[in-house]
Each structure stands twice: as structure tokens, then as C-alpha cells.
């Protein structure tokens, strides 16, 4: 068990790298023949094969991108092509190994360059550099450089990390917080704009609320005459812990200025997050309304009743 425990981390690392390498080989083959591989079947078969190879003193093996591309270029389209490839390798190892050692290295290098040229897709590369966004081009060039300097696994990991960062940046830029001066009847086909009550301010948030847009929540302000601040969240599909913290800070800001918060049309996932954080109880269940019309009507009723606004 001590040996198993010591080697578990190494085995997990090898398994992950082998899976990534094999799936990348599948992706390369798919792009060359316009096919779609079965990832689960590929990984299960690879796992069984590597376990069986240990019984004969073998080491873990993966799908090889260069040999896969060469196989496809030679006309391979079915699993039989891979089986023939394996049998040819066995024959070379068994009978032709002394002769294989005599092949000049420049000849092998030329073969590898030819294979690399056939699988590189340079036309697509040039097209992407001309048409893609600056962030996508930067990711492409960095991944390309890392593939040459290090290896494909490191390059793909770095490319995915940069892509995730760029995606979060794009989502945060698309998320908007805007204030209202007028509103219309949501249930009417004809919109008649009406001015908001002077003591009521409305802000609408569109987009997911996560750490990338907390500064926009912090920019929400109230004026001296504001008594009720309505936050419309119909366009907010998700809310994370950082977004929840931004709403809590907004609540404290409003309380310090004697302003009550009212929320309109909070979707299911944000509502669950608010309940788990105790935010609904803090603000008050009655201040969560199903529509903007209902929220404004609720604020009007509170104004007519003379209800005191929130205080710290």
C-alpha cells in the first residue's frame, strides 16, 4: 500500500496527460476527415490497453498525433487502419530493427517535416490571423509558439487558460447596469412611457453577476431625494459569491443613505444564492417583486403610507 500511495500521484498525472494527448490526436483526425470521434470509447480502450500492457512489461501509450495524421493522409478511415499500423510496427521491431537503425536522420527529419506540413492547416492559420479578434490571434500565436518551444500539452493548457480569461473579460464587458427615467407597462402591447416617482430610482442589470462586474454594481448611486432603489434583475441568469457580496455592499450603502432596496424579477439561480446568503431575510421578502410594474407599485404604496426607508 505504501508503494501504491507513493505512485498514485504519478499515475494520475500520466493518465491525464495520456488522455489529453489521445483526445488531441482524435481532434486532429476529425479535422482532416470531417468526422466526430467517440471520446468515451477512446479513453476506455486506451485505459484497458495500458493496463494490459503492464502485464507484459509495457509502459503507458497514447495516440500519436504525427502518426495519426500520416495514417489519415495514407487513406486510413477505420479502426482497421490503426490495427494494421500496430502490426507493421511489431514487424519492424521484430525483423527490421537492425535496418531501421541505418536510416539517415536527415531522411527521418524530412519525413516528419512533410507530415507536419500536411497536418498544420496553414490556410486556416492564415485565415484566422486575418479575420479573428486580436485576443483570439494572440491566443493562437502563443499556443503555436509554446507547441514549438515545449510540447502540445503545455500549449493547450496555456491556450485554454488564456481563452477562459478572455471569455470572462468579454462577458464582463457585455454585462451592463443602466438607470431608468421612464418606464412602460410590461403587459401592454403598446408602450406608454411614464415618468418614475421622484423618490424612486430604477437600475436594470443585464448579464451574469460575477467578480468581473462588481465595480459596475459599486457605481450605482442614489440622490439626496431617493427613498427607494429598485434593482431590476430580469436579465441576470446567474449570481456568484462575489456578485452577492457586491449586492450586500449596495444594501449597506443604501442603508447608510436612508434608502430601501426593492428587487424586481429575480431569476431562480440568483434567488437561491440570495436565500442561502440570508440576503432575502435581510432585505425583506416583501421587497422582492415579480415584475418591474409590481415593484414600482410597491414603492408607490410605501410612499403613500409614509413607510420609513431603511436605516443603518
Distance CA 58, CA 45 (A): 16
What is the per-residue DSSP string for 141-207? HHHHHHHHHS-HHHHHHHHHHHHHHHHHHHHHHH-EEEEESEE--TT-SS---EEPPTTEEEEEEES
| Contacts of residue 60, Cβ cutoff 8 Å, sequence gap at least 6 | 14, 15, 18, 50, 53
Residues 6 or more apart in contact with residue 160 via CB below 8 angstroms: none
Round to whole Å and give the CA distance between 222 and 262: 13
209 pairs with which residues across the strands? 239
CB atoms within 10 A of CB 218: 13
Position 272 scores a pLDDT of 93
In the chain, alpha helices (H): 2-33, 39-54, 65-73, 79-91, 97-100, 105-120, 122-131, 134-149, 152-174, 214-218, 241-256, 268-276, 279-283, 292-305
Predicted TM-score (pTM) of this structure: 0.57
Predicted local distance difference test score (pLDDT) of residue 188: 47
CA–CA–CA angle 128, 133, 136 (5° rounding): 70
Sequence-ordered list of residues with C-beta below 8 angstroms from that of 197, at least 6 positions apart, any chain: 296, 299, 300, 303
pLDDT of residue 312: 45
Domain limits, the chain: 121-174, 177-305
Distances in Å between the Cα of 3 and the Cα atoms of 9, 55, 59 are 11, 18, 18
Residues 6+ apart with CB under 8 A from 238: 208, 209, 210, 269, 270
pLDDT for res 225? 77
Fold for the domain defined by 177-305: Transcription Regulator spoIIAA (3.30.750)
- Count of C-beta atoms within a 10 Å radius of residue 281: 10
Walking along the chain (312 residues) 10 residues at a time, the average pLDDT comes out as 79 83 84 82 89 86 81 84 87 84 88 77 80 86 87 81 84 70 51 69 86 72 81 89 89 89 92 92 92 89 72 46
Cell numbers of 148, please? 514549438
What is the C-alpha separation between 312 and 298, in angstroms, rounded?
Answer: 22
Residue 236: which region, alpha, beta or left (left: phi > 0; alpha: psi -120 to 50)? Answer: beta
Rounded to the nearest 10°, the torsion over CA 276, 282, 283, 287 is 70
Amino acid at each position: 500500500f505504501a508503494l501504491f500511495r507513493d505512485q498514485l500521484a504519478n499515475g494520475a498525472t500520466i493518465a491525464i496527460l495520456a488522455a489529453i494527448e489521445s483526445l488531441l490526436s482524435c481532434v486532429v483526425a476529425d479535422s482532416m476527415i470531417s468526422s466526430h470521434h467517440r471520446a468515451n470509447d477512446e479513453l476506455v480502450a486506451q485505459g484497458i490497453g495500458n493496463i494490459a500492457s503492464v502485464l507484459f512489461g509495457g509502459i503507458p501509450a497514447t495516440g500519436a498525433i504525427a502518426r495519426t495524421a500520416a495514417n489519415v493522409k495514407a487513406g486510413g478511415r477505420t479502426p482497421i487502419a490503426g490495427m494494421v499500423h500496430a502490426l507493421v510496427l511489431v514487424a519492424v521491431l521484430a525483423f527490421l530493427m537492425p535496418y531501421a537503425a541505418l536510416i539517415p536522420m536527415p531522411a527521418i527529419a524530412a519525413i516528419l517535416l512533410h507530415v507536419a506540413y500536411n497536418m498544420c492547416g496553414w490556410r486556416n492559420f492564415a485565415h484566422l490571423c486575418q479575420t479573428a479578434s486580436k485576443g483570439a490571434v494572440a491566443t493562437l500565436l502563443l499556443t503555436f509558439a509554446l507547441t514549438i518551444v515545449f510540447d502540445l500539452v503545455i500549449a493547450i493548457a496555456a491556450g485554454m487558460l488564456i481563452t477562459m480569461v478572455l471569455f470572462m473579460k468579454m462577458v464582463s464587458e457585455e454585462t451592463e447596469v443602466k438607470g431608468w427615467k421612464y418606464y412602460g407597462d410590461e403587459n401592454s402591447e403598446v408602450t406608454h412611457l411614464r415618468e418614475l416617482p421622484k423618490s424612486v430610482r430604477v437600475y436594470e442589470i443585464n448579464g451574469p453577476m460575477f467578480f468581473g462586474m462588481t465595480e459596475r454594481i459599486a457605481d450605482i448611486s442614489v440622490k439626496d431625494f431617493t427613498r427607494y432603489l429598485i434593482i431590476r434583475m430580469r436579465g441576470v441568469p446567474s449570481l456568484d459569491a462575489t456578485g452577492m457580496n457586491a449586492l450586500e455592499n449596495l444594501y449597506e450603502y443604501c442603508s447608510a443613505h436612508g434608502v430601501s432596496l426593492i428587487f424586481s424579477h429575480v431569476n431562480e439561480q440568483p434567488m437561491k444564492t440570495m436565500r442561502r446568503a440570508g440576503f432575502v431575510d435581510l432585505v425583506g421578502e416583501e421587497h422582492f417583486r415579480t415584475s418591474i410594474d409590481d415593484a414600482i407599485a410597491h414603492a408607490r404604496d410605501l410612499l403613500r403610507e409614509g413607510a420609513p426607508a431603511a436605516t443603518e
